[in-house]
């Protein structure tokens, strides 16, 4: 009986030792595991107009501000803005109708800006501006859309310094197309993005280009 008891004791002790070693190793591995660290791309800025709708007296442009430097924006009885940026239905990238922001020049000279809230790129190692948009009508000579960026904007579009971001044409489309622009040059800075719609020239009848913004966001990989 004593020999049998000793054998059982040895087996129990061995099992306990293995269990302790296993749980100890698991705990150490857990200590080394990253805690709440997000990997991959994240969205650090979104347009904010997806859940909005046209409202009387309001441009409803979400996380952007509509600014008119030249020309007088007018809102129709159906709440649609002309000669200025305003919330309206657009065709998304999938062809379905959704909320967006449009610019309708209404055959008039204008200089209208759509300026984003501040976008913080200080803790990013890579970032892209993603635009889903399209435009129709008008001649290139009388209608122009610029995508701009500034790191010293303080509320005055004419006083700030702006860099133009090249974007492949979105013209002559019936629904939104995606364009991606690298913001690598601006890592470590706080910036604002602007869409500048200019209609000018001698032929007012050609100032008809309408721009449809479906989705605008900035995606980034954080440090």
pLDDT digits (tens, 9 = 90+) for 8-44: 445 445 444 444 344 444 444 444 444 444 568 899 9
Q: Tens of pLDDT along 52-74? A: 999 999 999 999 999 999 988 99
Contact 100, 49 (CB under 8 A): yes
Is the domain of 1 the same as that of 81?
no
Is the domain of 23 the same as that of 46?
no
Give me the CATH number covering residue 205.
Answer: 2.60.120.200
Is the domain of 18 the same as that of 122?
no
Cα(127)–Cα(130) distance, rounded to whole angstroms?
A: 10
- Model confidence at 135: pLDDT above 90: yes
Angstrom distances, CA of residue 120 to CA of 10, 132, 168, 183? 63, 21, 25, 12
pLDDT at 31: 47
Contact 174, 134 (CB under 8 A): yes
Is the domain of 7 the same as that of 56?
no
Between 142 and 209, whose confidence is greater? 209
DSSP label of 62 = T
Contact 185, 62 (CB under 8 A): no
pLDDT at 206: 81
Is the domain of 117 the same as that of 8?
no
The mean pLDDT of 117-143, rounded to a whole number, is 93
Is the domain of 25 the same as that of 52?
no
pLDDT at 39: 61
DSSP label of 4 = H
Is the domain of 28 the same as that of 46?
no
pLDDT at 203: 77
- Model confidence at 90: pLDDT above 90: yes
User: Residue 1's domain spans which residues?
Assistant: 1-33
Question: Phi, psi at residue 203, to the nearest 5°?
Answer: -100, 95
pLDDT at 202: 78
Contact 211, 169 (CB under 8 A): no
Is the domain of 174 the same as that of 91?
yes
pLDDT at 193: 98
pLDDT at 18: 42
From the number of C-beta atoms within 10 Å of its C-beta (0-12, 13-18, 19+), residue 213 rates as: buried
Is the domain of 109 the same as that of 214?
yes
Is the domain of 25 the same as that of 105?
no
Angstrom distances, CA of residue 106 to CA of 71, 100, 109? 11, 19, 9
Cα(220)–Cα(189) distance, rounded to whole angstroms?
A: 13
Between 107 and 192, whose confidence is greater? 192
């Amino acid at each position: 009986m004593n020999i049998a008891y000793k054998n059982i004791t040895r087996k129990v002790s061995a099992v306990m030792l293995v269990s302790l070693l296993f749980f100890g190793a698991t705990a150490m591995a857990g200590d080394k595991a990253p805690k709440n660290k997000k990997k991959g791309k994240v969205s650090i800025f979104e347009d904010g107009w997806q859940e909005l709708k046209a409202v009387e007296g309001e441009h409803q442009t979400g996380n952007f501000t509509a600014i008119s430097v030249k020309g007088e924006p007018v809102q129709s009885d159906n709440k649609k803005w002309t000669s200025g940026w305003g919330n309206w239905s657009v065709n998304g990238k999938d062809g379905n109708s959704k909320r967006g922001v449009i610019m309708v020049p209404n055959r008039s000279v204008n200089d209208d800006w759509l300026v984003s809230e501040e976008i913080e790129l200080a803790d990013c190692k890579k970032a892209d501006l993603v635009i889903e948009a399209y435009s129709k009508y008008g001649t290139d000579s009388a209608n122009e859309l610029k995508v701009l960026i500034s790191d010293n904007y303080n509320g005055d579009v004419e006083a700030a310094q702006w860099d133009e971001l090249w974007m492949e044409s979105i013209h002559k489309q019936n629904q939104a197309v995606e364009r991606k622009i690298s913001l690598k040059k601006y890592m470590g800075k706080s910036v604002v993005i602007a869409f500048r719609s200019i209609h000018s020239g001698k032929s007012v009848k050609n100032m008809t280009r309408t721009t449809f913004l479906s989705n605008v966001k900035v995606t980034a990989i954080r440090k």
